[in-house]
């Protein structure tokens, strides 16, 4: 868990932040490519994904030697998750072959206090996962198992997921609008700026509701 975890209150941020304002702030800070591609969607539109990345990299496989366990690294990653961490599983999606997530990994992750899962691969067992209210953002739904099709080949190293680079410890935030990856080194600053922008947007909204023009309110607050 990064030292950043000591400065960010994840439960409080889930009630205040949203992905669009974080994306705006990242643009402001010179990081314009931090949102994952829009084919990645929440399993439940009400889900909020908020935590720190633990990464896994998958690749297609077409053969496994006898006695080889293709789940080895996957199990190690899930078993080592800590509270507030997000399993970020890069599958070079969109894909119709790699499906790393299901009910049992969800159950194991929840038991360890994990904050959710982000993958550009497929997921299955969706009815059961929805019943568990586990934040899961995915690249598609399908019944396939990874065995015989894919394998996690590396863990806890930089990956790219749906067009966005993710490093272990990066701050991950997702809601119905999408998922944003905030590099760990700027996360505290980005969150501070985002919360300030939210306050300005709340003021802007109130003034617009009172009948003021967009132009005058933008001139005053610089928020649109």
Q: What is the pLDDT of residues 139-190, one digit of tens each?
A: 999 999 888 899 999 999 999 999 999 999 999 999 999 999 999 999 999 9
- Whole-number pLDDT of residue 64: 80
CATH class of 3-184: alpha beta
Q: Is 126 exposed, middle or buried (0-12, 13-18, 19+ CB in 10 A)?
A: middle
Tokens 């306050």 identify what position?
Answer: 199
Helix (H), strand (E) counts: the chain: 7, 10
CA distances from 29 to 23, 115, 185, 197, 212 (A): 10, 26, 12, 13, 30
pTM given for the model: 0.90
Q: Domain ranges in the chain?
A: 3-184
Which residue stretches of the chain have pLDDT < 70? 1-5, 202, 221-224
> Residues within the annotated binding site for Mg(2+)?
124-125
Q: What is the pLDDT of residue 206?
A: 74
So what's the pLDDT on residue 24? 95
Give pLDDT, residue 209: 75
Res 3: pLDDT = 64
Predicted local confidence at residue 210, as pLDDT: 78
- Give pLDDT, residue 179: 98
Annotated binding residues for substrate, written as ranges, equal 102-105
Longest dimension (CA), the chain: 71
What 8-state DSSP symbol labels residue 158?
-
Residue-level length of the chain: 224
Beta strands in the chain, from DSSP E residues, in sequence order: 41-42, 49-60, 85-90, 116-119, 136-138, 150-155, 159-161, 164-166, 171-175, 178-182
Position 182 scores a pLDDT of 98
**Sequence ranges of the binding site:** 102-105, 124-125
pLDDT value of position 212:
73
């Amino acid at each position: 868990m990064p030292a950043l975890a000591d400065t960010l209150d994840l439960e409080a941020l889930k009630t205040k932040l949203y992905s669009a304002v974080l994306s705006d702030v990242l643009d402001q800070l010179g990081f314009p490519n931090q949102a994952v591609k829009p084919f990645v969607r929440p399993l439940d539109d009400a889900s909020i994904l908020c935590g720190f990345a633990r990464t896994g990299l998958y690749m297609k496989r077409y053969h496994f030697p006898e006695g080889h366990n293709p789940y080895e690294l996957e199990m190690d990653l899930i078993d080592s998750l800590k509270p507030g961490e997000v399993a970020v599983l890069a599958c070079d999606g969109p894909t119709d072959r790699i499906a790393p997530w299901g009910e049992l990994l969800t159950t194991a992750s929840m038991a360890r206090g994990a904050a959710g899962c982000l993958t550009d691969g497929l997921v299955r067992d969706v009815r059961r996962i929805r019943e568990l209210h586990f934040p899961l953002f995915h690249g598609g739904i399908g019944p396939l198992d990874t065995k015989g099709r894919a394998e996690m080949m590396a863990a806890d190293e930089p990956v790219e997921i749906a067009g966005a680079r993710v490093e272990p410890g990066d701050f991950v935030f997702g809601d119905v609008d999408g998922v944003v990856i905030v590099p760990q080194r700027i996360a505290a600053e980005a969150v501070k700026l985002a919360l300030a922008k939210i306050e300005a947007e709340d003021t802007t909204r109130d003034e617009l509701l009172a009948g003021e023009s967009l132009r005058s309110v933008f001139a005053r607050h610089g928020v649109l």
